[in-house]
Chain A
């Protein structure tokens, strides 16, 4: 007889007001198995793991741990059982040191010195590099994730839950993470790996459980499935590829950035150094890079939120706009979508119509004699909602009432329907499900087809490779040589993202 599963769920049901988040879900994870939990945003993956980790309690169903029926009262109880979790949004304390952050995750009281030596031991064992006394706010996203992993590993977990761990890592960092996870699995630790990146699941996982709309769709073997078949199970329909006209040609240079430099904004900001590139009409230009390498500064410098002393540093259709503020640049046809949806791209406590006024008022004439034309704003917001199938109660819905993915669709739509000459977007599909992401990508391709120049700043390499015509890598505020996506090599891009340039790679 086979030994009992490490974790077995049967009939798990969780209801929220108006939503059935999990409906009779059940699956089992064996010791040493890497088990993928796959699904779109809102499919119920997070709710499910929150119940395993004791953050929430199921309304019905049972959880078995090594064959024993258990109820996980809280995260502390989960850790006591040997369940560790690495969250997608790191539960870290920015102003504290690595050591303090790890100490906070430990239930037993361990003297700081012992803890430090144990941390160093775990880091050595799994090849995770970290400096215990650094303040978290100075660390890269990859390093922050390592804190979470070390924190979980110190508890000698028997089950490690990883929630979307690779969305912010370079390809090399992903490889390093996989090495750690495989080593853990070999040692008998089960891993529950939440993701929607199918090729990673194929590369890493032994089994995949697919959820859709709170229900279990299938439990399958990723080795025999194709990425496409899993994606279609996940979205419950056939997947649309980006369609673009064959044999496109680009027009004249539309956006030209020449020797753009910008001092760092604050002690944790990144300065831009001598950035030059050109985007032609109809071209989609991608900027890859690990978070915190100057992407924010680049977006601000292009949108006009951070104007430059040198007007010629940014030109649109030959007109120097580098010295202009965002509103004036909008007048020249430059629209932008920053990474942060709430509070930067949109005002959470404003209605969708009011949020439309904020960026479309000049181009679409929503303000007359200093008064807002509320009807025009509502009509435009309604058009955006319609065209981008935004799930909202209407133009008078508060921005904060929308889910992240829907708000993102609305914001992208708000800019795209203004038909800008130049559109600069950062993380256009961050936290957006596959269906919505495909819609956003298609809209960008369609906008480019009308002759606009588009800059996409993203940490998601897959997105850039499928979407862009040309791409470059930003590292430490410097932009690499642009390359045609068709000729780009993943390895080279990965090295550039890690700050290693061509000459070093050739050295040996």
Chain B
């Protein structure tokens, strides 16, 4: 294994990790507010087509990313109205959002099939971005840096800001937060919209960076991995980052197994690994008796204040 191979491998892993890191961070914030949104996959697809479409029309990938965020947020608000205003079941509504997102993104994408955009790659000078070694630092799409910056930002927000404290309080005990006088519904709307925007940006990484074109269901189940990641990380941002890279490596192994005909284990085995690892990690955590110690106590429960 040469140095070139290792560099290529790292760049692949970073690429595979970024979408699930973004969507996972968004979902972590949503879940910290006490809402379980299983529609990540659907929001990623909506983000993928929105980002692509905006880029096609404006020729500006920055607007494309904003469009993806807006698309994902809009899709998530549909979910928010149903679960927050009408108290529909969060699990069922989240699954419906995934199905809806898959369908609407296909419909929106009809006129974009076969078109391509300029991939949204590194904005650093070519001498850095294409440099043999420095590309490890400078050779990525701005979305990658955005995702990495969002990790400490989200940590800071949740731990050290008043808004973050209120958000955690709402997820921990919605009735108490309500009785103190915080608007549980507003906080959850904001969290859900943030989660949608992050999933949208994660989704557009597929249509604007990895393969700069639109294809139906192009996120290929990564939304589900992002969801598993949040549980795997025990609702901690630092562990989410580590977990995302761990899953990224597993996904890279799957690609490698496919591409090289590397055959002592079938590629499906590697494809199944992230999920299998989640189960293993969860059993390990619960066997230590600290299961859910960090899980928001109100996760997935509807907010029903007594009159």
A→B interface (CB under 8 Å): 16, 54-56, 74-76, 79, 87, 90-96, 100, 103-105, 107, 109, 266-267
Contact = CB atoms under 8 A, between A and B. Distances in A.
B176 interface: yes
A119 to B, nearest CB: 15
Nearest to B161: A109
**Shortest beta-carbon contacts, A-B, top 4:** A91-B176, A75-B181, A76-B181, A93-B172
B172 A95 contact: yes
A56 B307 CA distance: 8
A90 B172 CA distance: 14
B155 interface: no
Interface in B155-189: 162, 165-166, 168-169, 172-173, 175-177, 179-182
Contact of A55 (B172, B173, B179, B290): B179
A75 B172 contact: no
B125 interface: no
Contacts, number: 53
Contacts of A104: 165-166, 169, 177, 180, 182
Contacts of A105: 180
Contacts of B297: 94-95
| Chain A interface main SS type | loop
18 contacts: A54-B181, A56-B307, A75-B180, A90-B176, A91-B176, A92-B173, A92-B176, A93-B169, A93-B173, A95-B293, A95-B294, A96-B172, A100-B165, A104-B165, A104-B166, A104-B177, A105-B180, A266-B289
Query: Which among A56, A93, A109, A267 has the highest number of chain B CB atoms within 10 Å?
Result: A93
Query: Which among B166, B180, B294, B297 has the highest number of chain A CB atoms within 10 Å?
Result: B180
Interface string B273-307: 00000000000000001100110010000000001
B179 A91 contact: yes
B155 to A, nearest CB: 16
A266 B292 CA distance: 13
A357 B198 CA distance: 50
B167 to A, nearest CB: 11
Given A96-B169, A103-B165, 19 more contacts: A16-B307, A75-B179, A75-B180, A79-B181, A90-B176, A92-B176, A93-B176, A94-B297, A95-B294, A95-B297, A100-B169, A104-B165, A104-B166, A104-B169, A104-B180, A104-B182, A109-B162, A267-B289, A267-B290
B60 to A, nearest CB: 38
A181 B166 CA distance: 30
Contacts of A92: 173, 176
B172 A87 contact: no
Nearest to B295: A95
B106 to A, nearest CB: 40
A104 B181 CA distance: 10
Contacts of A109: 162
A436 to B, nearest CB: 21
Interface of B: 162, 165-166, 168-169, 172-173, 175-177, 179-182, 289-290, 293-294, 297, 307
A110 to B, nearest CB: 9
B307 A74 contact: no
B59 to A, nearest CB: 43
Nearest to A151: B180
Nearest to B172: A93
A94 B181 contact: no
B170 to A, nearest CB: 10
Contacts of A54: 181
A91 B294 CA distance: 19
B143 to A, nearest CB: 33
B168 A96 contact: yes
Contacts of A103: 162, 165
B162 A87 contact: no
A54 B307 CA distance: 12
Contacts of A55: 179
A85 B253 CA distance: 58
A357 B150 CA distance: 55
Nearest to A111: B162
B172 A94 contact: yes
Contacts of A16: 307
A103 B159 CA distance: 13
Contact of B175 (A76, A91, A107): A91
Contacts of A267: 289-290
Contacts of B169: 93, 96, 100, 104
Nearest to A56: B307
B226 to A, nearest CB: 24
Contacts of B165: 96, 100, 103-104
A16 B307 CA distance: 9
Contacts of A95: 172, 293-294, 297
Given A96-B168, A104-B169, A87 B179 contact: yes
Query: Which among B162, B175, B289, B294 has the highest number of chain A CB atoms within 10 Å?
Result: B162
Contacts of A79: 181
B4 to A, nearest CB: 48
Contacts of A266: 289
Contacts of A91: 173, 175-177, 179-180
A90 to B, nearest CB: 8
Contacts of B181: 54, 74-76, 79, 107
Nearest to B179: A91
A442 B124 CA distance: 83
Contacts of B173: 91-94
A266 B289 CA distance: 7
A266 B179 CA distance: 30
A79 B182 CA distance: 13
B82 to A, nearest CB: 23
Nearest to A137: B293
B64 to A, nearest CB: 37
A461 B186 CA distance: 44
B298 to A, nearest CB: 10
Contacts of B166: 104
A213 B181 CA distance: 28
A91 B176 CA distance: 4
Contacts of B307: 16, 56
Nearest to B160: A112
Contacts of A94: 172-173, 297
Query: Which among A54, A79, A87, A91 has the highest number of chain B CB atoms within 10 Å?
Result: A91
Nearest to A90: B176
Contacts of B177: 91, 93, 104
Contacts of B172: 93-96
B42 to A, nearest CB: 30
Contacts of A93: 168-169, 172-173, 176-177
A91 B180 CA distance: 7
Contacts of B290: 267
A124 to B, nearest CB: 25
A103 B161 CA distance: 11
Nearest to B173: A93
Contacts of B176: 90-93
A315 B203 CA distance: 65
A265 to B, nearest CB: 10
